[in-house]
Amino acid sequence: MSASDGLYYWEYLQLDRLLDSQRLESERVGGPAAHDEMLFIVVHQAYELWFKQILWELDAVNATMGQPHIAERELSQVVQRLERITEIQRVLQDQLPVLETMTPLDFLDFRELLVPASGFQSVQFRLIENKLGVDPDHRPLINQQPYTAVLEEEHARMIEAAAEEPSLLSHVEHWLERTPFVHWGGFDFWQEYRATVEAMLEREAAIIRQDAQLDEAGRAEQLAAHEATVHTFASVFDRERYDELREKGERQLSHDAFVAALLITLYRDEPAFQMPHRLLTALVDIDEGFTAWRHRHALMVHRMIGSKIGTGGTTGHRYLRQSAERNKVFRDLYDLATYCIPRHQLPELPAEVSQQLGFRFHTDPDVAQASTGPGGS
């Protein structure tokens, strides 16, 4: 079979253009080629290709999650695409050891030629952050300027426009707010959960007070820690207090969305909640993946340039470490673990709620109908 008989591999992947895109700056300025500059370019181009794929998946996910009603089949597809992003993130981290085969001296062969170009100018990565929902108020400044200041005007406008669009965080919040079963007939999950937690906390306080093995100092210390736990739970039981924390930026999700996320987390074993729980887990995995990648990147930068200023003019690895923590998106989902209680202490669901959360079947065994899950129609 000749190339003229059909689609040709080389042409389909446009390898002429792709493989001609590695232009060494060390050669362009007329000096000898810096051998490791090729590696530097290839690794970063590979990053940008993977960023493109992540954006492709994120745009599809946001289009689905932005709908007023989401079918179970569509939710499954969303989870699949989010889990694909987490796999790509593993590849992103795996590229760093390849780049670290370049020593600091190898990097110095061409580093000064890169100024002021920097990874901070990755337009695609900034788009990813904004489409996920990174809070602009949490972004560290770059040389006392906003992060868009290091970009060309066209790219800055593109990124700022993306920040104005509904993010995945906002879509997830609205989806959670539509979750059924929080209130169902005479069942009020939040009321039952609060009563269970308060009884649990009272038992724990009594155990500390009656523990004969504790001296007064130890007892006082444990009671103080217990009081802090009581305070933590009180901050979510009081809606007004919760909203105040949200206004301060200490909470992201609305109270209704938070309660729904906790319901899904606690009753994850129920069939109707298994896919929603996978979605929440995937969101935390993505947040963790980018946080781990930023931390790993910061370590590599420290190893490569020490305490030198980065080519983009920042404090290098210190800036990267700072942004790793501040640019988390789904912090409220991380915090759900704080409010988990043992399965055997969970409020028992009424029979009608358990039936709705299970899988129901018509009298015709060949026709099955799953119950409507969170965010469904």
Residue the block writes with tokens 């946080």: 291
**Alpha helix (H) residue ranges in 165-305:** 168-177, 189-210, 216-237, 239-247, 255-266, 271-305
Q: How far is CA 131 from the centre of its chain?
A: 11
Give 349-358 pLDDT, tens digit per residue: 888 888 888 8
**What is the value of pTM for the model shown?**
0.88
Q: Report which DSSP code applies to 336.
A: G
Give the separation between CA 262 and CA 334, rounded to whole angstroms.
11
**Cβ-based neighbours of 361, under 8 Å, separated by 6 or more:** 367, 368, 369
**pLDDT of 215 higher than 70:** yes
pLDDT tens figures, 23-51: 999 999 998 999 999 999 999 999 999 99
Q: Taking each helix axis from N to C terminus, what angle separates 37-65 and 72-99, rounded to the nearest 10 degrees?
A: 170
Question: Buried (b) or exposed (e) across 312-328, using 16+ Cβ within 10 A?
Answer: bbbbbbebbbbbbeebb
| Domains of the chain and CATH, by start | 22-167+281-332+349-370 (1.20.58.480)
Residue 78: strand, helix, or coil: helix
- pLDDT tens digit sequence for 49-97: 999 999 999 999 999 999 999 998 999 999 999 999 999 999 999 999 9
